[in-house]
Structure 1
């Protein structure tokens, strides 16, 4: 337990300062897209300071792509939502499709609100789909990329059959490309009372693998399969202890 206790205390004490500062700016309407990316990068550095190791591949292909995209990834913990804006940087503004319950957390709701996220109820799938297509289209037209985790729940394992097509539908509707994101973020555990406040375990590496942008042309199901195959192959390779090659070095 102490091996996880000390990094957990160390990280959350830093995160409280970072989130507190961001929340202060957000409530005053002064938290910009650049500020959100900077705050996210600060959280990544805070995790690194307590011993968490980040392995990131594929960012070059994303950064060299002109225009916004739909990022589609598996969902394991709170870490990916906190880290992705910082990994992508100031020049790639993003927002999220997020569940309504996250907008109830004190301070965090103000910071998340600064992203102007696409909030879904998770109670009416048809209404949620219509909302995501409408609002997601508006964000993409304005140059902001959209991050979607199309699983019903966070999971340590990847089940292709349970991976929804929402990202593909939004990309097809708007004519932008999808970027698959395979991730392994178990170093930030799920909490017992508050899901987003779990143990920090530096023994587990954090891995982000960004794929090359995939245009949704012709058969959209084929584009969806390409995303699923990318994520599934990386998850399987990581679980087996090997390193999949996706043609890109650390970003």
Structure 2
């Protein structure tokens, strides 16, 4: 397992870590975009050499984490002990706002638990990102046939979990500016029940990294928006899972409301 970058249950960015290079770009997104692309290309080169493993996945993620702080991002993370208290793999289910959570989750989670993601098939067509996800044996869905996607996630997800690897899902299926409980499906609950593992709900606020109009992953950088990530207590599935699904949705709803009150 790779080394941990965070210790204890919480992390908060202390002080202004924004560097001179970002300031030289006059509050634009471009230094951040440069650092983000640089990290992706470095990871892609390692994939080509066959040396991109979980440790490199975690290190690559932490570089992005540091770049976010260097570009004025302020992070507030809690509930990390909830990852440590569970033995073996789990299913992580999170709301989805931007690219940020995909790039930051690994440096928080991977030193504790190996992970892979459930992703849309169109992401594989992105020249650098696609090979990275393929090397991590991501679970690929189409988002066109929900029944087929569910069967694939459960079957491949169970195989992944049997290998000791946790699965990260974004049940909303697409990025949303606001959490909409009605759009949050129960796929993660169903996988956890079938695999016999708990769910860890994750609530996020990541609109610091906006979605671009032309290229979705290259959007505006909103330095006045706090970045919030909260890991909930593990939820163990019994019965049909409806009560546990509600518990997960309630946690994310409560946390996303709390995040709106954080000012920086």
Q: Which moved more, 1:220-229 or 1:192-201?
A: 192-201
Partner of 2:138: 117
Which structure 1 segments of 5+ residues have no match? 244-251
Partner of 2:199: 178
TM norm structure 1: 0.91
Partner of 1:249: none
**Structure 2 counterparts to residues 111-150 of structure 1, below 5 A:** 111-150=132-171
**Secondary structure class of the residue paired with 2:51:** coil
Q: Higher helix share goes to which structure?
A: 1
Aligned pair count? 241
Q: Distance in 2 between matches of 1:142 and 1:165?
A: 23
Contact 1:7 1:202 in 2 (8 A): no
Q: Distance in 2 between matches of 1:132 and 1:4?
A: 42
Q: Distance in 2 between matches of 1:42 and 1:93?
A: 18
CA displacement at 1:9 relative to structure 2: 1.6
Residues 141 and 11 (structure 1 numbering): CA distance in 2 closer, same or farther, change over 3 Å? same
Q: Whose RCO is larger (CA < 8 A, sep 6+)?
A: 1
Q: Which runs of 4+ in 1 moved over 4 A?
A: 2-5
CA displacement at 1:116 relative to structure 2: 0.9
**Secondary structure class of the residue paired with 2:217:** coil
Contact 1:76 1:184 in 2 (8 A): yes
Q: 1:22 aligns with which of 29, 33, 43?
A: 43
Which structure 2 segments of 5+ residues have no match? 1-22
1:51 aligns with 2:65: no
TM norm structure 2: 0.87
After superposition, give the CA deviation of every residue in 1:158-217 in whole Å (9 maximum; x if it has no partner). 111111000000000011000000000000000011111111122101000000111002
Cα RMSD (Å) of the superposition?
A: 1.7
